[in-house]
Structure 1
């Protein structure tokens, strides 16, 4: 006779997602509002639950179909009752929900509406840039291939996880990507390459932009922040130790913003 392990991490995570979705649903349906502390905890906990489910290849939880409705309710509330701290944790949650869209958790219409909300809120924080994500070698760009062949001939260019092109003059650029246990090879290194592509004829294109700080999951990338900036051309930076299963965030923050 087979028994179900009700204490397995996957089962507990499904229960966590269901409980939080039910709590949010009850509050919105009754017109109640969580205080900012509870709202923050619920958003972050739900975000972690979604990330865990996707990273471990779990099927969408039973209450996943309520997530688009919840995000729409949160978006309406933030327009009528703006609270900076609540908006920040809401952004964390909707990035996780956005990644759930990519893994087929929702129908096309709901996914499009969620992506529109992500874009709308993202513009309040930063320039999203021209982001291309995926573990597909077809994402290779001619410029990147040229840079690798010319300046890093001993490094083999593997699949590009994510690339982002940002125009000069931005204050902050944030982009995210998702890592699951199925598409991550622990014996492979993940590198961050920063290059100014306007002129790649000299190695000066590999100098990190002045007064720009690079962070991965909130952690400063070694030698790529203003306090510890390497002023010469740099090798790609290995960021394996900064990554996690689930949603990962990369930020390029201008000095004037970083210092505030």
Structure 2
């Protein structure tokens, strides 16, 4: 250890614990009753247990759904495949849903990835930056001649989670301490809306049209374009009325932060 700075010592121990490097064995004092390798293994086990605990907290509903044994299997596999890349434990589970969706054997059960993705979106909505929310009075003040060129800025917490199973129903049952329904496939294109209102993360199912309209809104589409796209999906004569109804619901639910006039950034 002679000649190493504190930063070098810390970096060596971090590499030994996180990455499995054994070069740091010489940095560890030999314990009286076991070996340096045993002591290093204790540190490594404690680190992995801490990461597993973070995942259990972040994905508590998935943990309850799978049970201890099955959740620990996917958690350990994730810890092996996805070392922590940030000092903030809040973000360690960022890749967990994608890992479960893409990695056998869990990828054969899409409800696992769906439930993880929904939980992650809800926690991200809770942590999203604060922003104002537009009101129905704000909406009523928009001149009719400017409506078609209007764009919407959605609240930073808004997210659309694509799903292929009834993960939302399962999560709802688990949150109510009820027995969850059996996993079932959803129709192609199914999606869940996630957002925050009154300091509470919320979610609800979206139909195909509303999901499309919200995605286009996020991409900056004008109200007029939204009406055109809705008309292409069904019932062209009533498309504008349907879009206006969606817009009113979004405003009433706190999804809209601002109405942006034409030409605004």
- TM-score exceeds 0.5: no
With the length of structure 1 as denominator, give the TM-score of the two structures.
0.29
Greater fraction helix: 2
Max Rg structure = 2
With the length of structure 2 as denominator, give the TM-score of the two structures.
0.29
